[in-house]
Every structure is written in C-alpha cells, then in structure tokens.
Amino acid sequence: MIKPIDWENTRSIVELGAGTGVFTRYVHELKHPHCKAVIFERDREMTRRLRWLYRGLHYRSRAEDLYPAIRQLGLSEVDCILSGLPFAVLPRSVRVQVLEGVVRSLKPGGLFIQFQYSPA
C-alpha cells in the first residue's frame, strides 16, 4: 500500500481512517523530517492511543473536514492521501464530502491510495 510513496520528497501526507495505526506507524517512521503528517481518526480511544504511540503528527477526527484541516496547518495542498475509510458503507453524503475534500486537497500529480476491507 505504501510502496508508491516517495518518502524522500513527500512533504505532506494525510491518512484518513487510521484505525489501529497499522499505516500510521509507517507514516511516522518513514516520513521525511520536514513532512507534515495529518492523521484522521474518528474514534477517540484509538486517537488517544495513536497520539501516545506516534508523537509529532497532527490529529483530526472528521475526514469530512479534510480541506479546512490542512488549511489550518498552513497547507494549500498535500502530496499524498492514504485512506482506509470504508466508503462502501459510508452514507453517500459523507462519501461525497470526503472525496470532494480529497480533490481539493491533493496536489496535481499527488497520490491518492485507497483501501478498504469488504466481506465480498
């Protein structure tokens, strides 16, 4: 999932739906020292655990607020968005809002990597 990311040249990365932090760990370990990383996770307990394990990252709760969140951090666009959001089960309005935020936030030529678990 993270193999396509050019860690040396990535200066901004977002993770949507961090969950238990499987990919957050790689973001924390592999990101360039000057890279801003923004981690979105709605569950407060998971976020608390991630903050404790992976300090120095920026945490937000609502993926629907992606674009305003990166703007608050002084970014106009990001190099990479890694998403584990379960789009298949999200309400349509939430899916649309998140994807509009992705389109507004991702720089031209940037990476959007999406994965999701499915019973199908």
Q: What domains can be seen in the chain, in order of their start residue?
A: 12-114 (3.40.50.150)
Over residues 5-17, the pLDDT tens digits come to 999 999 999 999 9
Task: Quickly state the pLDDT bin for 38 (edges 50, 70, 90).
Answer: very high
Distance of CA 94 to the CA centre of its chain: 16
Q: How far is CA 118 from CA 34, 35, 36, 89, 108, in A?
A: 35, 32, 30, 9, 30
Over residues 80-115, the pLDDT tens digits come to 999 999 998 899 999 999 999 999 999 999 999 999
Over residues 52-82, the pLDDT tens digits come to 999 999 999 999 999 999 999 999 999 999 9
What is the Cβ-side half-sphere exposure of residue 39, based on CA atoms within 13 angstroms? 28
* pTM of the predicted structure, to 2 decimals: 0.94
Residue from 65, 11, 68, 17 nearest 36 by CA: 11
